[in-house]
Structure 1
């Protein structure tokens, strides 16, 4: 296609010549009109206006002509591009026909191809549900494989695989639960351990390992009781009063009435020794004017041995001890306690 500068050269030249001619005439009229306006007046004004109008009209027509030629040139280029694209499509048409012929397969072959893809996607979906532990969804997909595709043997195999995976998952959770119960037993938290065992028995009433846990709990409790009894006899012989009270407090939950009666005499001896020990500490605190220590020991004696003679004596003097310890001022009003003094036993 010829270039626009060559194809429209004659039109551009004619338009330019016409414009220059009209502008020249307009300038002449304007100059002559300006001269006449100076000489005569009104007549020169008309000539001046006419020249200006000619110049304006010529300029406007030149602009319009230039725009029309550019528009025509663009349309020509678009037409040429369209022709080129048409030629390309004509050359591609045989290739497209070959591709179309090669891609034509029978409906039966296409159906078999899609069936294999759907079956592979279904197998993958079944295993994903198994890995997530969503057994209901996995079982539904296995039923779809059996009913829709007729793969009964593979469906049976997948159900067995799902049952095995499910049993492994349950066993892992049971192992974690049993380990937690064993930890509770190691910490002597028998009540909590018993609650966890009963919860597991309700969930798995026929599981052999779970049904053996109550007996294991009783065995561990008995072992702990015997350990405490051995420690009790040892501290009684060594007269370790504080340790004995600590052991006896824990041992109380394991003992039957008969067993508690057997320990009554030794326990009485330990408690009497503890009361005597605390009484001595109280007396020393009073003698040394350690009133806060004396008040603390006195309150402890009243809590642990409320029926003892020393507890009654302390109760009679408790207000005096509070006053001297600084918890009550002399007017009977509660005062802010002083900083704690160092405690000497």
Structure 2
């Protein structure tokens, strides 16, 4: 027993002597000795005292050779300590036979895992993969990434055989997608209704075409064409009724505005019953403007005369009255400017 203990202590001592910490200490010691030898040689040896060039070079190498040797040994030891440190740590205890067997077994397990087939890996990690699929599908539903979720459903059903669970997730995805779709459709219909309320039916038709492309399966979108047609017809009936009222009450200005609006919506056949009434309204409007023009001239209200004259030319450009106004308009404008200037000076 007494003899076995020294035998066991000897390998342990050997292992400790080759530890990275010991090697690092020896490397620093050798480098220190190298620096000291170089400093001593520089202090006690002056090559200028030697006249011969060859002797001077030889003696210089001879003086600094020990410093170079110790320096190289120190650098080599330093590199070795770094390598050992990376392999077994600063105070590594080496690798015993038991450690060697354990390491070999570990390497053998790693090799076996590398060689295992993809099918075997899928079987081994089946539960973890299925749970990962579930979590990812739920996350995609929460983020409204329904296309990505549908792809994972196929993987869950076909690869792992969870068809019933996949169908449950499919129902959840469809419900979430339909809810999001309804919100978007509601917002789009609200915007379209605002356009219809402004009687901008041309813009409403463009918006409708866009919605039909975006949501072709929505039943609410499919009912919108009839809604637009009904709103247009109702608006057309309203302006017809208002025109008749304004014309019957001799409200010529309003009748003229409604007549222009009716022209956007009425076809030739629909406008036929209103032709005579429209001619009467137009005639009255023209006569009213003529009377206003003459009265403005009689009152020497040149500013008002210019305004009414320009209105006559704009609304009835081909009438004889418009020709007469054109001949007077330049003079009227000069008088209007003079009148405005006089009014400004009086203020």
**Short-chain TM bin:** 0.5 to 0.7
**From 251, 255, 272, the counterpart of 1:244:** 255
Deviation per residue, 1:73-127 (Å, 9 max, x gap) = xxxxxxxxxxxxxxxxxxxxxxxxxxxxxxxxxxxxxx99987666555433322
**From 182, 186, 191, the counterpart of 1:180:** 191
Name 2:170's counterpart in structure 1: 159
Q: Residue 293 of structure 2 aligns to a residue in which SS?
A: helix
**From 288, 301, 307, the counterpart of 1:277:** 288
Judge conservation of contact 1:292–1:340 (CA < 8 Å) in 2. no
Q: Residue 262 of structure 1 aligns to a residue in which SS?
A: helix
Give the gaps of 5 or more residues in structure 2.
Answer: 1-121
**From 199, 209, 215, the counterpart of 2:226:** 215
Q: Residue 239 of structure 1 aligns to a residue in which SS?
A: coil
Kindly name which structure, 1 or 2, has the bigger radius of gyration based on alpha carbons.
1
- By relative contact order (CA 8 Å, sep 6+), the higher-ranking structure is 2
Give the gaps of 5 or more residues in structure 1.
Answer: 1-110, 328-336
How large is the Cα RMSD of the aligned pairs? 2.9
Deviation per residue, 1:231-250 (Å, 9 max, x gap) = 11111111011111111111
Give how far 1:184 is off. 1.4
Aligned residues: 223
> Taking structure 1 as the reference length, what is the TM-score of the superposition?
0.58
Give how far 1:204 is off. 4.1
Name 2:334's counterpart in structure 1: 323
**From 284, 300, 311, the counterpart of 1:300:** 311
Deviation per residue, 1:213-272 (Å, 9 max, x gap) = 222211111111111111111111110111111111111112110221211111111111
Q: Residue 326 of structure 1 aligns to a residue in which SS?
A: helix
Name 1:229's counterpart in structure 2: 240
Name 1:128's counterpart in structure 2: 139
**From 211, 214, 234, the counterpart of 1:200:** 211
Q: Residue 253 of structure 1 aligns to a residue in which SS?
A: coil
> Taking structure 2 as the reference length, what is the TM-score of the superposition?
0.57
In structure 1, how many angstroms separate the alpha carbons of the residues matched to 2:157 and 2:342?
A: 81
In structure 2, how many angstroms separate the alpha carbons of the residues matched to 1:164 and 1:341?
A: 74
In structure 2, how many angstroms separate the alpha carbons of the residues matched to 1:127 and 1:289?
A: 83
Q: Residue 263 of structure 2 aligns to a residue in which SS?
A: helix
Q: Residue 264 of structure 2 aligns to a residue in which SS?
A: helix
Q: Residue 278 of structure 2 aligns to a residue in which SS?
A: helix
- How does 1:108-119 map onto structure 2 within 5 Å? 119=130
